[in-house]
Structure 1
């Protein structure tokens, strides 16, 4: 106590006042942060004022779990569709040509229809003045067990390369 009695009361008063101001400044900063936090809390709860923050977080977690389950179901469905798509016609190649010299306008054609595994058919229609004939040849793995004409080979090549059909 002898030390405190030697300090000037004015200095002591100003020191105490400084400490009080410092404490008030710290409290002001805490209050500003609290008010920001309270504002954010109110924004969260504006839509559902009956919910607490805990209820809101639980509701959010349940919604997130539902979204994840739905996303996984969509992934499985997409994988199933991709596998099924391999069995459907995906690529088409067509070549038009004159089969006979006395017929114009490229009325004959060969068309290749392939699935995702290069299986399918090549259809060829030969148009003549007196008759029209149509042939179908199976394709397995991009190859035919039958001899293909040049036009059929071109149609098959276009289908395998996904070249758009040309007239």
Structure 2
């Protein structure tokens, strides 16, 4: 087949069967691309329909504005919670967190270890030591000693030292 157009393009002696094969391959490639595009379009269409769920543009806009408003409220509440946690942590530092209790028999004759030394300390090892001595006459005598930075300002008995050491050795939970 001899064509002026083919001669002009420089393919005048080309067998037309090659052109048909090339056109057929091109059509197959385009068909595959069309199928792939259609599958992707269906997935996108499903996502779009799920997103819209029968909503009109105005109701969708209202929904988005509502979400932004909710987001602002959540951020505000989150900031308030963060400040509250900081405040709670500051307050916790001043609460008694370390405890030491030593029970003992004050006069080695009453039995039952009815006397005790109780030490309560905060995070900075400040607090007090309470000693309750059960007397032989059945009366309890209680007194306290101040503790600053883990040290007493007066001399401690052996039981009081044990209670203080127990409190200093305990950790906050």
Match of 1:149 among 149, 157, 173: 157
Quick check: 36-45 or 110-119, which moved more? 36-45
For residue 57 of structure 1, report the CA deviation from its aligned partner.
6.6
**CA 1:50/1:110 → structure 2, altered by over 3 Å: closer, same or farther?**
farther
- Matched residue, 1:109: 116
Answer yes or no: is 1:49 the counterpart of 2:55.
yes
Structure 1 unaligned segments of length 5 or more: list them: none
- 1:105 Cα deviation from its structure 2 partner: 0.4
Distance in 2, matches of 1:96 and 1:51, equals 76
Matched, 1:137 2:145: yes
Answering whether residue 74 of structure 2 is matched by residue 88 of structure 1, we say: no
Q: Aligned partners of 1:42 and 1:154: how far apart in 2?
A: 73
Q: Does 1:23 align with 2:30?
A: yes
Aligned to 2:135: 128
Change (3 A) 1:79 1:14: same
In the alignment, the residues of structure 1 paired with residue 164 and residue 112 of structure 2 have an alpha-carbon distance, to the nearest angstrom, of 22
Q: Report the equivalent of 1:160.
A: 168
Q: Output the TM-score relative to the length of structure 2.
A: 0.78
Look up the SS of the partner of 1:6 in the other structure: coil
Query: 1:45: how far off?
Result: 3.8
Cα distance, 1:81–1:160 mapped onto 2, change above 3 Å: same
The whole-number CA distance in structure 2 between the counterparts of 1:42 and 1:59 is 20
> Structure 2: which 5+ runs fail to align?
none
- CA distance in structure 1 between the partners assigned to 2:26 and 2:64 by the alignment: 41
Superposed CA RMSD: 2.6
Which SS does the other structure have where 2:129 is aligned? strand
| Distance apart, 1:29 and its partner CA | 1.1
Larger Rg: 2
TM-superposition CA deviations, 1:59-95 (whole Å, max 9, x none): 6565555444433332221111101111111121100
